[in-house]
A = this chain, B = another copy of it.
């Protein structure tokens, strides 16, 4: 299964990712061996890393493991191919520009017979259902607003857009424009709002873990959204099917 991980913080937060589970398995099980990617915003700028090699063999994964990421919005994805062959252009997260901002999207699930009419300026480069859905969302956002709308307005529009797509199958997705993180739950997404002091967070299947820096301040807030909850004793909230939540400044909007 694909793993999604999203993070939204109220201040650029130092953290490192590690892929210990991948490395241990050595890719020999071929589970989650179909590519992966991470995108993180630094101000308006974006760092985007994708790889169609298993993370255990990837020099890019090695970089991410050692790289001190300082970001307010991060989306990561580990892919098990369901549609589209294993190729770089099919690795999530995907990126497009709209209204002079970068938009990042990753999807976990499988859409059947989703072939929307893409008549505007967002076209898939690869051949996944996920990138088609992203292009459709961007096209409809561009039609719905003349410029960058508020987080609240975007949430309303995304809520309307997500539901008809989700009728085509399993559509857990995350979207960020560097200001907020939107998470739509079709079947399986959990989130937690964490505050200072941060502990080490480890995904249940050990594929991916996050270390927060020790020098967080009492004002720091971080929201983390994942496919499967972290194992540590924190108050994880399971999202409901059909629910869209937006995270800004490190916490869920009510």
A129 to B60, CA, bound (A): 31
Do B142 and A121 touch across chains, with their CB atoms under 8 A apart?
yes
Which residue from B63, B89, B120, B121 sits with its C-beta under 8 Å from A63? B63
A43 to B121, Cβ gap below 8 A?
Answer: no
Q: Is A164 an interface residue (CB 8 A)?
A: no
- Using CB atoms, name the residue of chain B closest to A121: B121
Contact between B96 and A124, CB atoms less than 8 A apart = no
Interface size of A by CB at 8 A reads 36
Nearest neighbor of A58 in chain B, beta-carbon distance: B67
Is A48 within 8 A of B45, CB to CB? no
Chain A, 1-16, CB within 8 A of any chain B CB: none
* Given known A-B contacts A48-B48, A88-B43, A88-B47, A123 and B96 have beta carbons under 8 A apart: no
A41 to chain B, nearest CB (A): 9
Determine whether the beta carbon of B87 is less than 8 Å from that of A43. yes
**A31 proximal to B (CB < 8 A):** no
A125 at the interface (CB under 8 A from B): yes
**Minimum CB–CB distance for A97 against chain B, Å:** 6
Q: Which residues of B contact A116 (CB under 8 A)?
A: none
Would you call B121 and A101 a contact (CB within 8 A)? no
In the complex, A100 has a CB within 8 A of chain B: yes
A59-90 interface code vs B (CB 8 A; 1 in, 0 out):
11011001100000000000000000001111
Given contacts A89-B43, A97-B96, contact A63 B59 (CB under 8 A): yes
Q: How far is the CA of A90 from the CA of B45 in the complex (A)?
A: 8
Contact A50 B50 (CB under 8 A): no
Q: How far is the CB of A115 from chain B (nearest CB, A)?
A: 14
Q: Which residue of B lies closest to A100 (CB)?
A: B123
Cα–Cα, bound, A66→B66 (Å)? 15
Q: A102 CA to B122 CA in the complex, in Å? A: 11
CA of A62 to CA of B60 in the docked complex: distance in angstroms?
Answer: 11
Question: In the bound complex, do residue A126 and residue B44 qualify as a contact, i.e. CB atoms below 8 Å apart?
Answer: yes
Q: Are the CB atoms of B45 and A50 closer together than 8 Å?
A: yes
- For A87, the chain B residues whose CB sits under 8 A away are 43-45
Query: Which residues does chain B contribute within 8 Å of A122, judged by CB atoms?
Result: 97
Considering the complex, give the chain B residue whose CB is closest to the CB of A68. B59
A–B Cβ pairs within 8 angstroms, 6 of them:
A43-B87, A44-B88, A44-B89, A44-B126, A60-B67, A101-B125
